[in-house]
Amino acid sequence: MKILVLNAGSSSQKSCLYQVDDPFPNLPLEPLWEAKVNWTYQQGTAELKVKTSRGILQQEIPSDRRLEVVAQMLDTLSQGDTQVIDSLSEIDIVGHRVVHGGQDYRTPTIVTPEVKDAIIHLANFAPVHNPANLEGIEAVEQILPDVTQIAVFDTAFHSQLPLKAAVYPIPYSFFEQGIRRYGFHGINHQYCAERTAQLLNRDIKSLRLVTCHLGNGCSLAAIKDGISIDTTMGFTPLEGLMMGSRSGSIDPGILIHLEREHNYNADKLDEMLNKAAGLKGISGISNDIRQIVAATNNSRAQLAIDMYVRSLIQHIGAMLITLGGLDALVFTGGVGENQPFIRAAACEALTFIGVKLNAAKNEDAPIDTDIAQAESSARVLVIQAQEDWAIAKECWKIAKMQ
């Protein structure tokens, strides 16, 4: 079975093609074809990069229209030096990451007109991502009109949050209008929980896990019995940890003050909180932690790192209390997988409960590895984020039921 996965963001588009045969593999397969489109390269131009075993392609596409760019991207599947199939008609099913599924979409779902209407309606809650997700779906509809498409929702894994975690302490009528904690990064939090159980050879229902998805966006999940019972992101992906360019949780009174005293409107607040805050706002350098770490003599860079670590530790502590203990702490995402000092700082704060990191393993951690000492009270794992593979797995399940 050939499964195409589209993972659309506001300024980028990641795509993979997998060849998956029965039975479904226990470990992620390497994709036959990988593509990434970057729309921030130059205004009115998309930068396309394609990688296969046959070759690598880099080119600029003079268009900012997603349909045109996706069409050219998919052409590289069956043409030129990156060809891996003879025809696009060989694709059996297409899966899409959709950031917000609201209260109604709690499982992967075949795309129908009703599902598309829901995705655009929920763009009110995820204005940066859901429209881009829908554009990817509609592009495939025009290019491959007969193929089944599956929407896999980032919020779905958190849909079983208990009410005490989901409801905000504001008038209850707002909850009845859909203002609640939804949580995000659910596709990867769920994958990491399942992969942890596999690596530890444990039943997932016997594990208390804190999964730390640390990238430009950051979130934690408290997972018990295989279910997300708490998470740091909320109604939007802005709540929770300090992030690359997002503030995370702050005193909402600050926003009232800025509106009243400094003439900030909703758009200006949105820009500040989502794009000019976090590591970028404090350091004045970048939202990329690698660039901040490199600025060793910059006091604001050091402050940004110290604040980032403090935020991470605080929120891990909250997840531990929710779980009532810890069997494994998991690091994933670009920062979680590639910044040993962040993992070390988090684990150092947990020595009081007996967490002990193997320093040598931490410094040179290959993917999907336990980096805790043998006598540690909890395991510490580094797991490679595999959102695309997780989406492919859901597509395979649905295809087998049809």
Question: Is residue 195 annotated as involved in ligand binding?
Answer: no
Is 215 annotated to bind a ligand? Reply is yes
User: Is 288 annotated for ligand binding?
Assistant: yes
Q: Tell whether 14 is in a known binding site.
A: yes
Whether 214 has a binding-site annotation, put simply, is: yes
Tell me: is residue 334 an annotated ligand-binding position: yes
- Residue 298 annotated as binding site: no
Please report the DSSP string for 53-90 in residue order.
Answer: SS-EEEEEES---HHHHHHHHHHHHHSGGG--SS-GGG
Q: CA of 7: how far to CAs of 63, 125, 154, 157, 284, in Å?
A: 19, 18, 11, 17, 30
For residues 75 and 87, give the distance between their C-alpha atoms in angstroms, rounded to a whole number: 9
| Category of 278 on φ-ψ map: left (φ > 0), alpha (ψ -120 to 50) or beta | left
Is 97 a known ligand-binding residue? yes
Angstrom distance (rounded) from CA 243 to CA 45? 28
Q: Are the beta carbons of 61 and 69 closer than 8 angstroms? A: yes
271 in a labelled binding site: no
From 21, 104, 154, 368, active-site residue: 154
CA-nearest of 233, 229, 230, 199 to 215 is 233
Residue 7 labeled ligand binder: yes
Q: Is 64 a catalytic residue?
A: no
> 336 among the known binding-site residues?
yes
Q: Rounded to whole angstroms, how far apart are CA atoms 274 and 248?
A: 9
Query: What residues are designated binding site for Mg(2+)?
Result: 7, 387
Q: List active site positions.
A: 154
Query: Which residues sit in the known binding site for substrate?
Result: 97
List residues forming the annotated binding site for ATP.
Answer: 14, 213-217, 288-290, 334-338
Binding residues: 7, 14, 97, 213-217, 288-290, 334-338, 387
